[in-house]
Amino acid sequence: MRLLVGTTNPGKLAEIQAHLGNLPIHIVPLGHLATWPEVAEDGRSFEENALKKARALADFSGMPTLADDSGLEVDALGGAPGIHSARYSGEDANDARNNEKLLQALAGLPQEKRTARFVCVLALCLPDSRQRREWLFRGECEGWIAFAPKGGNGFGYDPLFFYPPFGKTFGEVDRETKGRVSHRGKALRRLVESLPMLLPLLRQP
């Protein structure tokens, strides 16, 4: 069975492949398509954005599609950057600028007021041509925002996200270690647990 994975983020793709690699699924990265529609992430929640991407890409490709929306929620910032995590520092945002803006927003706050969580919502969707079916899988991971970036692993806010059980940021651990506890790892495990029931539906022409 072919499954389109609706991301061009190499870090996300690697995490998804690591969890689904041993299943009877042929993963088709979005970048393997000649073209694909741009989907505006203008929903009001991670669920809305993930579903919007999965639906559009499934209908375009005709393949079952997995898409995600994920981000960082910081309690002291009222849940920001949240669904705007990737574009937190503006339209020309990148990881370094986003991290710098976050540190500035939390400047002067002590550790106990820097609590945060990563959130990931995966949307699995069949195209409309195959009698649209869709499923959602959510994962969260609690931690706090460090006072400076540490570690060169991962992507996004990983160097700033301190995970207390490890005593390290996500940027200081390898992908396999992070995947055991991360928001995306939890959502992917929920997906994998459901796949024995879902595969017959996904394989139907």
CA separation for the pair 162, 173 (Å, rounded): 11
Q: DSSP character for 152?
A: S
Location of structure tokens 């949240």: 82
3-state SS, residue 35: coil
* C-alpha distances out from residue 109 to 25, 64, 103, 113, 197, Å: 46, 45, 10, 6, 47
Whether 69 is catalytic is: yes
CA separation for the pair 91, 110 (Å, rounded): 30
The residue annotated as part of the active site, out of 68, 69, 95, 158, is: 69
3-state SS, residue 129: helix
DSSP string, 39-80: -----SSHHHHHHHHHHHHHHHHSS-EEEEEEEEEEGGGTT-
Among the listed residues 110, 90, 109, the one whose alpha carbon sits nearest the alpha carbon of residue 101:
90
Show which residues are catalytic: 69
